[in-house]
Structure 1
């Protein structure tokens, strides 16, 4: 535990200011994941982009974000969290400005990739600053709950904000984050604690960074492109084989190098492993669901982008309103209970949406699912981030933060790609309501099934923790005074008798 963390007993105005700055950065990161989707038709018309090129306005950001998160988390540990955060936030603001000004599709996609890469460094750096500034326990849980809920709110509210901005002009979806990022940068320079740079023992895992990052980048690229070139094409199969080879090389390097980019032993922490797997499938399922809802509401029901954004608002509003209370809720019930509850609410929300039809209404279909998803997100998102960093040493908090964020973004890319393929196969290119529903329903079943996997993982972890706790409490006390002082040290007890546990 850092000196700062141990001394942070009372939440001073400066400490609140630090948390607000970090929350603002994560809000912008998450906002950008969902905000641009609504503006895509306007962007395509304005810049004369084909559909295959237009998808890279979204995929470019995901590629940079998901592919470089792991490297961003480790860079925060080795180069200094404050330094990495400030530089990356400045790059994020510059890339946002560039994206709002360019008139060329290639430059726009490049700006989006740069922006995603910057977010890949701000997100884990911000999370690791929190976990090394706030003491483990109630203070850290409260801070992480507020922080992660702001991220969930940004993701959920992105469609609403984008609908409003797109009605003025698509460029505002890129320009709006610029002043927010600059204000956050100014306050970050003044408020962020100056942690000492972590001692890297002179070792930098260059080979691990190259192979691990290349594997993630190629994986996200492959699943994104597979929609257009075909999943059974030689290009897709060859790319997946290359991903497997790079992944195997990465694992081999991490096992043998003295200073690994990812210490594989971190996954022996059951909480970390389960949190990452749950984050992968639950965030991926939500990305797929949001995509289905966007197509269903706009194409089949004929809603406008703004109407669709407001239809999704209840979920985001519930997440935002719960931000200040989630810390106390986590303290009272623990992540072991909240993760399964949040996962169950999301599964039920997806399942209820399976009732969709050609004339469904907001009150009957959309609202119940949005309420359940809002509750699920509010419980699951902060709990997953807390569990993913629980029990991890300060010098690996950036790594743990990068891992869970990587799990979320790669889950987004993979599940969304498969969801899109299912929709395409089901509709067979038809535009009739019947043809569209034939694609949406199996895609919703897929999303629900993926979320169910997350529920089983979370519930299994909770059951395992409960059994371990029961086993610890069931170990009988042993009276060492009866067997004498000589036997006590051999049993691991105090030498002077008394009572202890076997």
Structure 2
């Protein structure tokens, strides 16, 4: 790489690293955040969902807008928005302000992630340089998640939860100070049209579904507003399918989704991200609210998980080379289910922390194998002209999975906690019961999807058709 190329990669990876930090740095600070702003347990998942929802819903739209108006321009705009939103989150004086700031952070991330990836692929030619650049970017994303968990715990214990958001604001400003000097403008030569109807329907559909699931955690599934939100979300997502089937330049290529490798691969990706995100959220509540561990100790427990994930990333290519992508994908999903099932053994004794650390670390290892193998499968057998759409689907599966997993299982856990509390159980006992129920559902979903993906990809292997 030239010196300028290295500087470009450094800036783009720094931005991706900050986004990874944001996904994890607040997790261990949630109980302290809730106490300070007066947010109940059922509300805490909104601190995660408020960020994840816009980052998933607008990802494809901003990627296409960047093709039209310039990737560098949109990338810098995203950094400005993200940094300002992080400052607002730092200063938030009540839950609505904080959640609005988190939503703006997610919107900024929806701009930064696709434009950053596009700038990498347009800066580095296909081959060893691009592979190296993407490998470095992926490693830093994984490292950012780990560092975020450890930093979040330490900073929350010493400086308070607001310092976690302040760190993101400062980091965003530092990257913004260098990026305009280093990055060159880049546009798609064909200037594709923006699929506005597709963007509106998919974003509205996701918003309705996630709002309905999240509200059910507080109000139950039978309330009219919850039913209306879930039904409206389902209708909009169905409309999105109709819109995409007729669009000349769709956000999501439906014919591509009919290919078995693309469809089953992305189903596996969506499942592994949604279930893993839910496990981290649930264990954070367990460690701090049942075992009453500090935020720093909780962060260190998840730090072990991150170290093993980094090692797993180095080993994954050899595993795939030895057993094949399909076997690694299915085996990884089954392994994730098995190690999640092991978490059902957690209890109110302090030894539960050791079980949680060991099990979630092993879950993370096989989770990373699933991530890499599903990316290989979901982009295999496609022409160069189709790789952009395929990569967009892979990224969307990640973001949508992160969006849906936490509110879905959190709502189940919260409803069960409320039921146990009504029956006279203590807060700690009720919380433990809710966490166990959600972990059981997590295990069942992973096992079911593993079987479906295994059968679907095996059929593809026999027929040789997409």
Both structures adopt the same fold (TM-score exceeding 0.5): yes
* Contact 1:152 1:377 survives alignment (8 Å): no
Q: Secondary structure at the match of 1:176?
A: helix
Structure 1 Cα separation of the partners of residues 337 and 117 of structure 2: 27
Q: Which runs of 5+ in 1 are unaligned?
A: 1-10, 472-502
- 1:413 is aligned to 403
Structure 2 Cα separation of the partners of residues 326 and 179 of structure 1: 34
- 2:298 is aligned to 308
Structure 1 Cα separation of the partners of residues 103 and 413 of structure 2: 26
**1:174 and 2:152 aligned:** no
Change (3 A) 1:432 1:184: closer
Give the alignment's TM-score, normalised by structure 1: 0.80
What is the deviation of 1:116? 0.3
Q: Determine which of 19, 25, 28 is the counterpart of 2:15.
A: 25
**1:215 and 2:205 aligned:** yes
* Contact 1:282 1:454 survives alignment (8 Å): no
**1:357 and 2:347 aligned:** yes
What is the deviation of 1:444? 1.5
Q: Determine which of 281, 301, 314 is the counterpart of 2:271.
A: 281
Give the alignment's TM-score, normalised by structure 2: 0.86
Mapping for residues 416-427 of structure 1, pairs under 5 Å: 416-427=406-417
* Contact 2:61 2:195 survives alignment (8 Å): no
Deviation string 1:83-134 (CA, Å, 9 cap, x unpaired) is 3222212221221122223434333222111110111121122233344455
Structure 1 Cα separation of the partners of residues 131 and 334 of structure 2: 22
**1:270 and 2:267 aligned:** no
- 1:291 is aligned to 281
Mapping for residues 363-402 of structure 1, pairs under 5 Å: 365-390=355-380, 399-402=389-392
* Contact 1:102 1:108 survives alignment (8 Å): yes
Structure 2 Cα separation of the partners of residues 131 and 50 of structure 1: 43
- 1:76 is aligned to 66
* Contact 2:346 2:352 survives alignment (8 Å): no
**1:90 and 2:80 aligned:** yes
Structure 2 Cα separation of the partners of residues 390 and 90 of structure 1: 36
Change (3 A) 1:283 1:396: same
What is the deviation of 1:273? 2.2
Deviation string 1:273-323 (CA, Å, 9 cap, x unpaired) is 223211111111112211221222222222112111111211111223455
- 1:4 is aligned to none
* Contact 1:89 1:122 survives alignment (8 Å): yes
Structure 1 Cα separation of the partners of residues 76 and 114 of structure 2: 12
* Contact 2:68 2:187 survives alignment (8 Å): no
Deviation string 1:161-217 (CA, Å, 9 cap, x unpaired) is 21111121222111112232233334443444543334235x332222222222122
- 2:90 is aligned to 100
What is the deviation of 1:350? 0.8
Change (3 A) 1:105 1:235: closer
Q: Determine which of 128, 132, 137 is the counterpart of 1:147.
A: 137
Change (3 A) 1:298 1:343: same
**1:195 and 2:186 aligned:** yes
Mapping for residues 314-353 of structure 1, pairs under 5 Å: 314-321=304-311, 335-353=325-343
Q: Determine which of 445, 451, 454 is the counterpart of 1:456.
A: 451
Max Rg structure: 1
* Contact 2:252 2:389 survives alignment (8 Å): yes
Structure 1 Cα separation of the partners of residues 70 and 387 of structure 2: 12
Q: Determine which of 119, 131, 146 is the counterpart of 1:129.
A: 119
Structure 1 Cα separation of the partners of residues 182 and 460 of structure 2: 38
Structure 1 Cα separation of the partners of residues 184 and 41 of structure 2: 45
Change (3 A) 1:413 1:196: closer
* Contact 2:328 2:370 survives alignment (8 Å): yes
Q: Which runs of 5+ in 2 are unaligned?
A: none
**1:38 and 2:28 aligned:** yes
Change (3 A) 1:18 1:330: farther
Change (3 A) 1:197 1:276: same
* Contact 1:74 1:402 survives alignment (8 Å): no
Q: Determine which of 130, 140, 154 is the counterpart of 1:164.
A: 154
**1:444 and 2:439 aligned:** yes
291-300 or 100-109: which moved more?
100-109
Structure 2 Cα separation of the partners of residues 340 and 134 of structure 1: 32
206-215 or 183-192: which moved more?
183-192
109-118 or 378-387: which moved more?
378-387
What is the deviation of 1:244? 2.3
Change (3 A) 1:406 1:46: same
